[in-house]
Structure 1
Amino acid sequence: MQNSFNSWVFLFALSAAIAAFSQVLLKKSASEKHSSVLREYLNVKVIVGYGLMFCGMLMGVVAYGKGVTVQGGSVMEASGNVWIIVLSYLFFREPITKKKIIGNIMIIAGILLFNLL
């Protein structure tokens, strides 16, 4: 039973990473120039971004149904903020500032504190 729970926890963590990637993909599309309003909303990056967001959400729902607690899920969902910082640096070369580092340290500290209580 424990191995099954671990696989669902991994699935939920993966869903948070996929959701973060989909947000970065949507931002990438929004920062590009498009030939028309229709192409702005119906292009490959937007369609894939929303598709990934839906898949991530579906994975999270399945993981909740199979053994991830609401407490554990909310903690893992917060880890998506860390993913966004990393992915924004990789895709946009956005600098990782002191404020972002401090914010992420606070998020991780909150996750650890939440799990200890």
Structure 2
Amino acid sequence: MLTLNSVLIMLCGVTIAAFSQILLKTSANQEHASFWKQYLNKRVIFGYVMLLISMLFSIWAYSGMDYKYGPAIESVGMALVAILSCVILKEKMTKRRFAGTVLIIVGLVVFCL
């Protein structure tokens, strides 16, 4: 059983998780005054809150779908993080990263057929 609502909820959770990973990466790229400020700053705390929210979305989505669909939908997050890192963090999209992103998307399409 797979409902459109469950897929949309899962995709919202995946998107939130992808943005939280970008936020955590931006915090890791900054210099911090102390050990504690490295782990207890606004970006890190908000990033982990976003991860918690994405986990709650996943739990909510699993209530309306079979468990076999969850990992397939969550794999979109890896492709989304690669794209967001290029757009937001200005990282280069290498041929290898591009090929991996395409393989993830193709694998998802094949799984859903």
Segments of 4+ moved more than 4 angstroms: none
Which residue of 1 is the match for residue 45 of structure 2? 47
Q: Distance in 1 between matches of 2:107 and 2:4?
A: 22
- TM superposition shift of 1:47: 0.4
**Aligned residue type for 2:65:** V
| 1:92 aligns with one of 89, 92, 99 | 89
Alignment of 1:51-66 (within 5 A): 51-65=49-63
**Aligned residue type for 1:43:** N
Question: CA-to-partner distance for each residue in 1:35-83, whole Å, 9 max, x for gaps?
Answer: 1111101000000000000000111001101x12212211110000111
Structure 1 residue 11 corresponds to structure 2 residue 5? no
Question: CA-to-partner distance for each residue in 1:71-116, whole Å, 9 max, x for gaps?
Answer: 2211110000111011111221001111111101111111112122
Q: Distance in 2 between matches of 1:69 and 1:26?
A: 31
Which residue of 2 is the match for residue 109 of structure 1? 106
Name structure 1 gaps, 5 residues minimum: none
Count, aligned residues: 112
Which residue of 1 is the match for residue 18 of structure 2? 20
Question: Which stretch has the larger CA shift, 67-76 or 40-49?
Answer: 67-76
TM-score (norm 2): 0.93
TM-score (norm 1): 0.90
Secondary structure of the residue aligned to 1:34 is: coil
Q: Distance in 2 between matches of 1:86 and 1:105?
A: 11
Query: How many percent of aligned residue pairs carry the same amino acid?
Result: 36
